[in-house]
């Protein structure tokens, strides 16, 4: 029987009224849905109903829809399951109830320790003059060994990386070291810069928790919010670790097909879903993004589509959306086939984009300039039409 395709929901990440990319820009790019969060609310505090309604009204006044929340941040007390974890879980549940009351029921989150994404360079120049985000293992080792000075860091890198890191460190001036520190410590958006001593302390805390302990803490969190999510119709979508492997001695629990099978099996309820991010998963040397999608596709409620190009040591830069190591054609085909089975369409957004053209002279959120994402969305929309024939 011929597949009856319907269009995926095309969304766009917007950082709110202070975002240099405006809602009018978003409309001109062709997206219909907005992915946003209340970044002015400190992590762990309740999202007030009035604040949610205000943001929703701003979006709808522009003729757009608030489709996905990205993110309701999970407080570190929950991830580490400190004595006050349940207080923050209760706050989280109230925020979810308030979002559901406003009709916003798809929530993206992550369970990465301390830093919710890590890059070593934010302006890697491409051959066409545009700029991309870059994760380089040599630079990370320089940061780990010579800036953070983490105890036992040498044990986490192969000798080939250590030798190259030592050689590179010898060439760097203080300004270059400062830039590297700032890039790695960008951490969670709109939070104060994480100080080195705070990071060392957190690393020691997570060392005691370990991989299995962090997994168990995620299951505890999801089990604790399950009742609210099921009754309110909330879909939680966990974002893969970025990058998808342990860094700086911090464990990772959402990086591989085994990780996602564990998460979905141990809280086996419909609300517990996945944000399928091709860029994060594609950065894993041993990951097959299509294989992971097929394993979890029934629980994919949101998708980030971007691409990466890896080198021999696993360093990667963010490539054009239709370039890189991820076969975006096969991903779009599988995503469209799954979407055809749904009553509610799957939202996707063009994740990140090169800084290019006029945006090269503008100050923008890393990866979130307008023109690079506009190009990415245009390419992905065209790919979807090519895959489905659905104009």
Query: One of 108, 229, 275, 277 is an active-site residue; which one?
Result: 277
Q: Is 139 a catalytic residue?
A: no
Strand partners, 99: none
Query: One of 75, 321, 352, 354 is an active-site residue; which one?
Result: 352
Burial grade of 332 (CB within 10 A; 0-12, 13-18, 19 or more): buried
Query: One of 92, 229, 259, 304 is an active-site residue; which one?
Result: 304
Query: One of 88, 157, 239, 321 is an active-site residue; which one?
Result: 239
E-strand spans in 17-120?
33-36, 65-70, 106-109
Q: Is 351 a catalytic residue?
A: yes
Alpha-carbon distance of 304 to 14, in angstroms, equals: 14
Burial grade of 343 (CB within 10 A; 0-12, 13-18, 19 or more): exposed
Alpha-carbon distance of 336 to 333, in angstroms, equals: 5
SS3 85: helix
Strand partners, 317: 134, 309
Q: Which structure tokens are listed for 285?
A: 């040397």
Q: Which contiguous run of DSSP H or E holds residue 138?
A: helix 137-142
Query: One of 259, 351, 354, 359 is an active-site residue; which one?
Result: 351
SS3 312: coil
Q: What is the 3-state secondary structure (H, E, C) of 108-127?
A: EECCCCCCCCCCCEEEEECC
Q: Is 277 a catalytic residue?
A: yes
Q: Is 40 a catalytic residue?
A: no
End-to-end CA distance of the chain: 20
Q: What are phi and psi of 310, to 5 degrees?
A: -105, 155
Catalytic (active-site) positions: 239, 277, 304, 351-352, 368
């Amino acid at each position: 029987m011929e597949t009856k395709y319907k269009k995926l929901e095309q969304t766009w990440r917007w950082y709110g009224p202070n975002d240099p990319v405006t809602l009018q820009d978003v409309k001109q790019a062709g997206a219909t849905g907005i992915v946003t969060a209340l970044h002015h609310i400190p992590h762990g505090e309740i999202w007030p109903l009035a604040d949610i309604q205000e943001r929703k009204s701003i979006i709808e006044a522009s003729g757009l829809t608030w489709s996905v929340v990205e993110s309701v941040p999970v407080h570190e007390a929950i991830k580490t399951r400190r004595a006050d974890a349940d207080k923050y879980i209760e706050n989280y549940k109230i925020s979810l109830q308030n979002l559901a009351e406003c009709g916003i029921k798809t929530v993206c989150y992550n369970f990465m320790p301390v830093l919710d994404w890590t890059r070593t360079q934010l302006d890697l120049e491409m051959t066409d003059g545009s700029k991309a985000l870059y994760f380089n293992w040599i630079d990370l080792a320089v940061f780990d060994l010579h800036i953070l000075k983490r105890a036992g860091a040498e044990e986490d890198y192969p000798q080939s990386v250590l030798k190259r890191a030592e050689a590179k460190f010898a060439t760097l001036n203080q300004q270059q070291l400062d830039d590297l520190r700032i890039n790695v410590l960008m951490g969670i958006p709109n939070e104060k810069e994480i100080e080195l001593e705070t990071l060392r302390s957190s690393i020691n805390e997570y060392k005691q928790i370990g991989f299995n302990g962090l997994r168990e803490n995620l299951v505890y969190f999801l089990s604790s919010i399950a009742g609210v999510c099921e009754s309110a119709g909330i879909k939680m979508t966990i974002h893969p670790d970025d990058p998808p492997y342990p860094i700086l001695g911090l464990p990772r629990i959402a990086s591989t097909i085994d990780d996602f099978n564990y998460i979905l099996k141990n809280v086996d309820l419909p609300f517990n879903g996945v944000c399928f991010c091709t860029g994060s998963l594609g950065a894993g040397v041993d990951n097959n993004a299509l294989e992971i999608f097929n394993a979890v596709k029934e629980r994919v409620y949101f998708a980030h589509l971007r691409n990466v190009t890896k080198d021999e040591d696993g360093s990667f830069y963010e490539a054009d959306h239709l370039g890189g190591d991820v076969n975006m054609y096969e991903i779009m085909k599988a995503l469209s086939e799954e979407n055809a089975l749904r009553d509610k369409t799957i939202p996707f957004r063009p994740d990140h984009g090169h800084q290019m053209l006029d945006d090269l002279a503008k100050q923008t959120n890393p990866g979130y300039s307008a023109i690079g994402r506009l190009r990415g969305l245009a390419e992905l929309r065209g790919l979807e039409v090519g895959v489905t024939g659905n104009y």
